[in-house]
Chains A and B, each alone.
Chain A
Amino acid sequence: MIVAEGLGKTYSSGGRPLPVLRDVDLRIPAEAFVAILGPSGSGKTTLLGLLAGLDEPTTGRVRLDGVDHTALTEDERAEFRAQNVGFVFQTFHLLPTLTALENVLVPLELLGDRPPRELRERAAGLLDRVGLAGRLDHYPSQLSGGEQQRVALARAFANRPRILFADEPTGNLDQETGARVIELMEDLNREARTTLVLVTHDLALASRAHRIVTLADGRVVADDDVAGAGAPQVGARRVDHGSAVVPSREAG
């Protein structure tokens, strides 16, 4: 369960306050699949950062599974993330100096509570699950974009997180690869019964979620339940997303 109350973030730009997120209230129940949708500059990445405890809000607070994140120190939040949170990034963010297997091992080693052999078996199993059994010892630079994102998925699920945050996970992939990655993510999510928070400006991708929270200019402008995951319901019960909603990028 994720609870945000009166969440706001203001940056300072050229000496003047620049509010990027204002007064956001949000409750995301366990095992939900929520998409945060909005054009660039709408504050969705800021919201994700605050929900995940990567940054401190200017106003309001965030509770993850009952723990008030705003009251924790930086290292306590890191520890919470290590135990409960997984991430998938737009640019994959695999550690370029580690092999695929080592990348997946990182969250497990951060917990450090199991013998190394067991950890390796779990990491290898996850890579097998995302279809990369033959690529354990490859470095990120030796993998394609889709393969890198699949390694990132394996890494995200490695510590059996209760919450998974995904920031434009298909933003750097072509349509077909992106679709496969999303399907895989949904499958893993179902199997692990994880709460999934997905940030995107891609309406098609967002509409695979159970619920779409739409941001514009730092505010929640719509919060819609979507009946049936995976069924695109674009426009059916939509509040105006505005022309700023960019269609999925056709990367070549």
Chain B
Amino acid sequence: MSRFALTLARRELRASARQIGVYMTSIALGVAGLVAIRGFTGDVSRSVQDEAEVLLGANARLASSRPFPEPIVALVDSLEGAGHRSARLTSVVSMVLAPRTNVSRLLQVRGVDPGYPFYGRVRTVPAGAWPPRAGEVLVDPAVLSMLDARPGDELMVGEVTVRIAGTVEDLLGDFALQTAVGPRVWIAHASLDAAGLLAFGSLARYEHYVVIPSRGERVDVEEGYRATFDEAQVRWTTAESQARRLTNSVEYLGRYLGLVGLAALLLGGVGVGSAVHVFVRERRTTVAVLRCLGAHQRSVFIAYLLQAAVLGLAGAAAGAVLGVAAQGLLPVALAEVLPVQVTTRFSLAPVAAGLAMGVWVALLFAWLPLLAVRDVPPLRALREDTGPNRRRWDPARALAWTAIGASIVGLSVLQAPEQDEGVGFAIGIGLGVSIAVLWGTGWMLVRLTRRFVPRGAPYPVRQGVANLFRPQNQTVAITLVLGFGVFAVATVLQVESALIAGLGLEEQSGRPNLVLFDVQPDQEGRVLQALPPEARADVVTAPLVPARIAAINGLGPAELAELPRPRRPERWAIRREYRNTWRDTLTAAETLVAGRWWEGEERALPPEGVTALARVSLEAELADDLEVGLGDRITWDFGGRAVESVVTSLRTVDWARFEPNFFVVFEPGTIEEAPHTSVMIARVDDPMERGRIRTNMVRAYPNVSSLDLTRVQDAIERVLARVNTALHFLGLFTAVTGLIVLAGALSASRFQRMRESALLRTLGARRGQVRVVLLTEYLVLGTLASLTGIMLAVAAAWALARGVFEVAYLPSAASLLVLWLLVTALTVTVGLGGSAGLLARPPLPVLRRAAE
């Protein structure tokens, strides 16, 4: 690199900083996002590892969805015999009633042995109330408000009555979001046993926490008992493995959030590119003079590229500082959803990575427009109208485009989860394509506006629109970057409303809204009688028969797991506990896609001496995962009783409908004798009536749980809202980047606009008219950006709703309208704000300066 290039770069920097420095801040936001998210995930991972034992409450845990079988009980006994302390924790979902207020809710009931947790402290109000004693219950604070209860009240949990001794404010790895999803009550394990909630068919989780301080001993247990655990379907978790899992998921999440930063960074890059393009056009004469004086093409190019690098570094550094500040604030802001107390520690790696990415993106997007520097002929110093030396095929330009494409994909792969490069690749291409499509749409809209602005429109309006096309305008770039923000926010809003409309419980009358489950066969008639007479006729009752797969075509689970890849069934599908049913008709949510349904057919009984073969219908995707098709045989284990079945049909199921849907349906007359419970689904219009039924049900049948689906819908909406916050954040982030680019463009063209307004006023325009001109300009700009984003968002939301979520999609006009108004208002505010003072100066000095 020549010394001249360095010297020139250094000297020119003052001016270029003024001209394109503002744009470089548009990459600051993206860098800030990347640095903050990377630093923060690092902090969380470290804190999680530091507190691994406290997070688990012990060194190791055994967990199962069934009571522990004999070999596991023996293992725990032998561990206790060897001096290792242990404690049980059993959770079951059940109705809990507060008799004083007569309110009942479906809650997580947890029975604990004293001793748990062995590490960490439990904070209760009043202090020292942990562990729950016999006859007492400790509750999550949310439970008090849900049941309208207060400490000292009695609660009915199953068949026992316990007194609220206090609230659990803080328990190991708990975080507030968890309690919002499933609020808990804690009772002594003995009380849980007495409550009779662990009856057959209940949704329970059994855990055993063990203190094994020696790592070697833990490894011995894990290795010695691996086969036993597998056989008994018991999960063995150590403090380290739990911490690793948490760390992995935090990092996974961090990488996805990092994509938000990346998108903002790339859009900032587009802003930089647009600014540099204008910058180069203004520097053509300077470049020509330098060439006259003997400067090489390459030296001049490098001098400008160096300036872009330095300014990019400055922007990235500003972003890094912002990011480090945000890294410190995130643990405070996200305390609710974090499993541990996160301590912030400055680490260089994320800052270095952010800086590198920032500088690279700034350089990359500056590179392409800077190539034009090489084409400026020295003759331009003598003749202003000398055009550039055109090249037919320019390898450098092709290389720059390739580098931009490769970098978008490469950075996405770097940023996306390491485990899956394909995802990063797809995201990169998606991002690149979105930017390209937005660019194209913006460009087309801008052209159309110019073409179709009515000739009869008032002069200030025509002038305002014409202003968008002033020489060296950046209308398309601003439209793109603002439009991307609108695109992100609008897509999320649209998909969200499509999903909620798809659930549509309230609007669609006739849909069930009350679910009663764990109904024992002998309770069915009485439970039905407890419902109001008008509701009884439409009640749907579906038996739930728990079962596991014992064999497929004669091969047991262990043998199936050994099969070569294409024939090997998915692990989850062989291991899971199925809740099967029997029925003679298809429901509205089901469609037969292969084979024959048995409705109306007599059950063909086999000849004497041959085992009865039950016909079953499988959900089509499950059949794929099990690697079975029509005619294949599955042996089921119904609580110790084997039932041989043959697959005779495949169905698709619309899982989005709140109906009792099943993976596996048996023909009637095959499994009725197996132990089962029933789920009953009803519609009760009056919400008060629903509440009354639920409360009465708890008193009469403590084992029966009930769900008010309208409350479930609320919960789903709340969860969706939380998930979407991240995506809204993406939109906001990129929209702010768009506004920075707009502010940069305004500051770069300030003098030009000042001269225009002075000229207009000289020609007799009143200030009000000039204001209308400016207002029109920004109104149209905001509208173009919104429209670009909204058009693509509607297309994307349609594709997502139909393709991914499989719900109907109708654009929700209201949210789009609000978005348009908001973005346009912001554009006008920034635009008019940036134009402040334009009208304050008298025209003459402005024109005189322009003439110099």
| Interface set of A (CB-CB < 8 Å, partner B) | 45, 48-49, 52, 54-55, 74-75, 78-83, 85, 87, 89, 93, 95-98, 102, 106-107, 109-110, 112, 155, 159, 167
Contact = CB atoms under 8 A, between A and B. Distances in A.
B296 A81 contact: no
17 contacts: A45-B383, A54-B292, A54-B382, A74-B297, A78-B291, A79-B294, A80-B294, A81-B294, A82-B295, A89-B382, A96-B15, A97-B12, A97-B14, A98-B12, A109-B8, A110-B295, A112-B4
B385 to A, nearest CB: 11
Contacts of B4: 109-110, 112
Contacts of A96: 15, 286
Contact of A79 (B289, B296, B383): B296
Contacts of A159: 294
Given A96-B286, A97-B14, A82 B379 contact: no
Contacts of A54: 291-292, 377-379, 381-382
Highest count of chain B CB atoms <10 Å: which of A48, A89, A95, A102: A95
Contact of A87 (B11, B15, B292, B377): B292
Contact of A95 (B2, B289, B297): B289
Contacts of B3: 109, 112
Given A109-B3, A110-B294, A93 B15 contact: no
Highest count of chain A CB atoms <10 Å: which of B16, B289, B291: B289
Nearest to B289: A93
Contacts of B298: 75
A222 B14 CA distance: 49
Interface of B: 2-4, 7-8, 11-12, 14-16, 285-286, 289-299, 377-379, 381-383
Contacts of B297: 74-75, 78
Contact of B294 (A55, A89, A95, A107): A107
A174 to B, nearest CB: 15
Contacts of B7: 109
Contacts of A49: 379, 382-383
B293 A106 contact: yes
Contacts of B291: 54, 78
Contacts of B293: 81-82, 87, 106-107, 110, 155
A78 B294 contact: yes
Nearest to A79: B294
Contacts, number: 84
Contacts of A155: 293
A75 B298 CA distance: 9
B382 A48 contact: yes
A85 B289 CA distance: 13
B285 A97 contact: no
B292 A97 contact: no
A87 B381 contact: yes
Contacts of B289: 87, 89, 93, 95
A226 B291 CA distance: 33
A75 B296 contact: yes
Contact of A83 (B12, B294, B296, B377): B294
A89 B381 contact: yes
Contacts of A112: 2-4
Nearest to B14: A97
Contacts of A48: 382
B14 A93 contact: no
A102 B292 contact: no
Contacts of A80: 294
Contacts of A89: 289, 381-382
Nearest to A81: B294
Contact of B11 (A55, A74, A97): A97
A45 B384 CA distance: 12
A95 B381 CA distance: 12
A73 to B, nearest CB: 10
Nearest to B299: A110
Highest count of chain A CB atoms <10 Å: which of B4, B296, B382: B382
B290 to A, nearest CB: 7
Contacts of B383: 45, 49
B377 A78 contact: no
A55 B377 contact: yes
B296 A78 contact: yes
Given A78-B296, A97-B16, A106-B8, 12 more contacts: A54-B377, A75-B298, A78-B294, A81-B292, A81-B293, A82-B295, A89-B289, A89-B381, A93-B292, A95-B12, A112-B3, A112-B4
A40 to B, nearest CB: 12
B285 A93 contact: yes
Highest count of chain B CB atoms <10 Å: which of A48, A78, A80: A78
A93 B293 CA distance: 11
Nearest to A86: B293
Contacts of A55: 377-379
Given A93-B289, A110-B4, A102 B381 contact: no
A80 B295 CA distance: 10
A203 B291 CA distance: 30
Nearest to A75: B296
Contact of B15 (A45, A81, A97, A109): A97
A45 B11 contact: no
A87 B290 CA distance: 11
A167 B297 CA distance: 23
A78 B382 contact: no
Contacts of A52: 292
A199 to B, nearest CB: 9
Given A54-B379, A89-B381, A109-B4, A78 B12 contact: no
B245 to A, nearest CB: 57
A14 B699 CA distance: 96
Nearest to B3: A112
Nearest to B285: A93
A87 B379 CA distance: 12
B698 to A, nearest CB: 81
Nearest to B378: A54
Contacts of A102: 11
Contacts of A81: 292-294
A110 B303 CA distance: 12
Highest count of chain B CB atoms <10 Å: which of A83, A93, A102: A93
A159 B383 CA distance: 24
Contacts of A93: 285, 289, 292, 381
A237 B78 CA distance: 126
A54 B383 CA distance: 11
Nearest to B383: A45
A98 B7 CA distance: 11
A74 B292 CA distance: 11
Nearest to A119: B7
B593 to A, nearest CB: 66
A97 B290 CA distance: 13
Contacts of A109: 3-4, 7-8
A55 B292 CA distance: 11
B775 to A, nearest CB: 33
Given A82-B295, A87-B293, A95 B286 contact: yes
Contacts of B377: 54-55
A80 B294 CA distance: 7
B340 to A, nearest CB: 54
Contacts of A83: 294
A96 B15 CA distance: 9
A89 B299 CA distance: 22
Highest count of chain A CB atoms <10 Å: which of B7, B294, B383: B294
Nearest to A90: B382
Nearest to B287: A95
A83 B293 CA distance: 9
B306 to A, nearest CB: 14
A107 B4 CA distance: 9
A69 to B, nearest CB: 13
A91 B15 CA distance: 20
B582 to A, nearest CB: 85
B11 A98 contact: yes
B654 to A, nearest CB: 66
A97 to B, nearest CB: 4
